[in-house]
Amino acid sequence: MKKLLIYIKEYTKECILGPSFKLLEACFDLIVPLVMASIIDNGIAAGDKGYIFKYGGILVLLAMVGLICSITAQYFAAKAATGFAANIRVALFQHIESLSFTEMDETGTSTMITRMTSDINQLQSGVNMALRLFLRSPFIVFGAAIMAFTIDLKAALVFVIVIPLLAVVVFGIMLVSMPLYKKVQAGLDNVLGITRQNLTGVRVIRAFNKEYAELESFSGSNGRLTDLQLFVGKISALTNPVTYVMINIALIILLWVGGIQVNTGRLTQGEVVALVNYMSQILVELVKLANTIVLSTKAAACGGRIQSILETKSSMKDGTYKEETRPIESSGGTEVSFKHVSMAYKGAGANSVSDIDFTAEAGSITGVIGGTGSGKSTLVNLIPRFYDVSEGCVTVGGKDVRSYELDTLRQKIGIVLQKAVLFRGTIRENILWGNPGASDEDIIEALKAAQAWEIVTGKDKGLDYVIEQGGRNLSGGQKQRFTIARALVRKPSVLILDDSASALDFATDAKLRKSLQELPYKPTIFIVSQRTSSIQHADNILVLDDGGLAGQGTHEELVENCEVYREIYQSQM
């Protein structure tokens, strides 16, 4: 949590001014009981209306000045807290973006979202409350005790006894509740993960009539979270009744002692009222302090969770090799080579791919085929270095991918992932992700090569047609063609199509393959597919089986020599 304070440094002035104005307001609050005592003893007792109105005006003035100080303090505290949260949110997002897929897989998407939203909001509220009350409340408590001593020593001893007892109660509850709030946030992570999974897979859930099963699963996790929140809430809720009981007992003792002192003439009635007011102020401020501590406890727990993400180091170290920026028009194929490559995901018991050895010549087309879970996507994900190899090396242009700066390496590669992902915006804006400097002519050329131009011409606004988040207003095949166009517009040296034509009909798939072969800049192409028809014209076909290379060669060679490929081909043909 302490390491997060660097993100509030630029708001140092606000962090000083906010509490300062709160302390100024507290000073005025401490004066009020004395003014009231003076009105009772000198104004009401003597029947002096002028005196009452004069000091009543002073009370109104103190209230107005205190209100101005309070509003000013709130402004500075809110500015510092929101700015602090904004800085952390930016830093956390940047850090998450720098993590490799390994760390993202390990931490989980739902956890990342919780940290970015709920945890940072809790931290913002905690900082806001701390800046306003963490100094003011103790100042009022001890200030009221000191003011009580200026009135009467014997009566003030009640303050000396009750303040430490209240502090023990408040901080004891805080120490018990802090670890429980960490468990509450972890439970929230779990509920968010289940919710996200259900919303993402809602079609599958309905297709298999699993609504009630998923509802039971969610209800179980939500019930456990609710029970934990109720338990920690009950502990925190003890603060108010316990402190109120202690304060009221103290008030009874104070009135008893004060009454005796009034009878003996050592205290006036106004001074007793002032002592009662100071005790009431202590009660209010301790309740505020208790609530602040509870909120700060949550904030501290959330800050620790945020810090744990920020301290997560990427397992992927950036290389140092950087090429001069290449003119896109001069783009050409680049040789890609796998040299006895093996790779295992973190925490996995076995390799996902093992001893893969092949070379894809510059400008060639390499097909990758195999059964489900055979390691096809894992293999092509090693080229742009989404994951690092466990053994061997992958080279692009004769250099190990680990020696490249990641930006340099990925600028050479255009990749279309299995799941077609589009962002809210126009068709033009989505295609420009591949090359921000592309002209409309370049975009149209890429759309035509991806067999997507006919989709654009069928829309009312053409390139300005707005795609909804995730491409909800497009079919599966349309989304795939737009993502292929997005990769083609950058004219990459290496083009990877990871099962990205699975939603296309055979005729469109054939047109796409033909247009890829006719690309003027001749990239080195990798086509991952479940269909033999999509890769049978490739220069080299890799057949994967359980992570290993079962065979490689042309379609004709594999039909004759590779049993795995022959089975796939015969099952489809």
pLDDT value of residue 219:
92
Checking 154-157 for CB contacts under 8 A at 24+ apart, the result is 154/257, 154/261, 155/254, 155/257, 155/258, 155/261, 155/267, 155/275, 156/275
CATH number for region 328-572: 3.40.50.300
Enter the tokens of residue 458: 């069928």
CA dihedral 57, 60, 61, 62 (to 10 degrees): 120
Q: What are phi and psi of 3, to 5 degrees?
A: -70, -20
pLDDT value of residue 325:
52
pLDDT value of residue 331:
59
Contacts of 214 (CB under 8 A, 6+ apart): 198, 205
Residue 425 exposed, middle or buried by CB count within 10 Å (0-12, 13-18, 19+):
middle
Distance CA 481, CA 489 (A): 12
Distance CA 19, CA 343 (A): 55
Domain spans of the chain, in order of start: 2-310, 328-572
Find tokens 């003439």 and name the residue: 265
Helix (H) or strand (E) holding 540: strand 540-545
Closest CA to 271 of 154, 137, 143: 154
CA atoms within 13 A on the CB side of 3: 11
Enter the tokens of residue 319: 């290389």
pLDDT tens readout for residues 526-572: 999 888 888 888 999 999 998 899 999 999 999 998 899 999 898 88
Distance CA 179, CA 190 (A): 17
CATH class of 2-310: mainly alpha
Residue 19 exposed, middle or buried by CB count within 10 Å (0-12, 13-18, 19+):
buried
pLDDT tens readout for residues 106-134: 887 777 888 888 889 989 998 998 898 88
pLDDT value of residue 1:
63
- Same CATH topology for 2-310 and 328-572: the answer is no
pLDDT value of residue 452:
92
- Phi-psi region at 183: left, alpha or beta (left = phi > 0; alpha = psi -120 to 50): alpha
Closest CA to 279 of 161, 136, 172: 161
Q: SS3 sequence, 365-415?
A: EEEEEECCCCCHHHHHHCCCCCCCCCEEEEEECCEEHHHECHHHHHHCEEE
pLDDT value of residue 326:
55
Enter the tokens of residue 536: 């049978």
- The amino acid at residue 373 is G
Closest CA to 446 of 364, 523, 516: 516
Enter the tokens of residue 414: 């255009």
pLDDT value of residue 433:
92
Low-confidence residues in the chain, pLDDT < 50: 327-329
Distance CA 6, CA 84 (A): 9
